Amino acid sequence: GQQVMQIPQYQHVQEGEDFTTYCNSSTTLSNIQWYKQRPGGHPVFLIQLVKSGEVKKQKRLTFQFGEAKKNSSLHITATQTTDVGTYFCAGRPGNNRKLIWGLGTSLAVNP
Amino acid sequence: EAGVTQSPTHLIKTRGQQATLRCSPISGHTSVYWYQQALGLGLQFLLWYDEGEERNRGNFPPRFSGRQFPNYSSELNVNALELEDSALYLCASTSGKLRVRFVEQFFGPGTRLTVL
């Protein structure tokens, strides 16, 4: 079936280091969304990418959607302790309203 | 505007019992999604309701069921509880008015179910 693989599962960095998480889909996606879940919280929408090769930035966060619309990445520059949490990608195949979720990357930041 | 609400916040049951979890979507949202988040397992899709009908379900046994009411609120029922059902159950809602492609999910705070 349709799958979205997300790597790495865990990442531990020193504050100030960069961080990247990657998502790879088994099928072409019409769009991909990214969510952040703080410890003890619920997932909160960060961004949606729709166009092939699209790059979007939110302050220190850079989101990319691959040319083939099968992969995506989230890069955080100079991590801060406030970045701690689990980052999920979720892709939508075709015009299906159902999202296919990655298992998430848990980020820990040492101050 | 009120967000997605879920009740109860915590629920403790014993094996074999039944649990009912409730979700109220954002006003105007017609779709409700249910997810199970067990420790270390990410978000596992359970059920999707839209306009009162079940549209899709994930790979869970039939003892996981639910419904959506005319006011678009939803219930998740778990029968014959097992220890491995212990998890955070999240509800999310989406608007039915936006184009299908641009539908962000808004999550509630979740119900923490513990099965003893």
Give the number of other Cβ atoms within 10 Å of residue A20's Cβ.
15
Q: How many Å from the N-terminal Cα to the C-terminal Cα in chain B?
A: 37
Digit-coded pLDDT (tens) for B26-79: 998 999 999 999 987 789 999 999 989 999 999 999 999 999 999 999 999 999
A45-81 burial code (b ≥16 CB/10 A, e <16): ebbbbbeeebebeeeebbbbbbeebbbbbbebeebee
Digit-coded pLDDT (tens) for A11-29: 999 999 999 999 999 999 9
Is B107 within 8 Å of A44 when comparing Cβ atoms? yes
Is A97 within 8 Å of B107 when comparing Cβ atoms? no
Binned at pLDDT 50, 70 and 90, residue A10 comes out as: very high
| Nearest CA-CA distance, residue A70 and chain B, Å | 16
Give the residue on B whose Cα is nearest the Cα of A10. B40
Q: Which domains does chain B have, with CATH numbers?
A: 5-115 (2.60.40.10)
A36 in contact with B at a CB cutoff of 8 Å?
no
pLDDT of residue A50: 93
* Alpha carbons B54 and B70: distance in angstroms, whole number: 13
Class of domain A1-49+69-93: mainly beta
Residue entry with tokens 């699209």:
A54
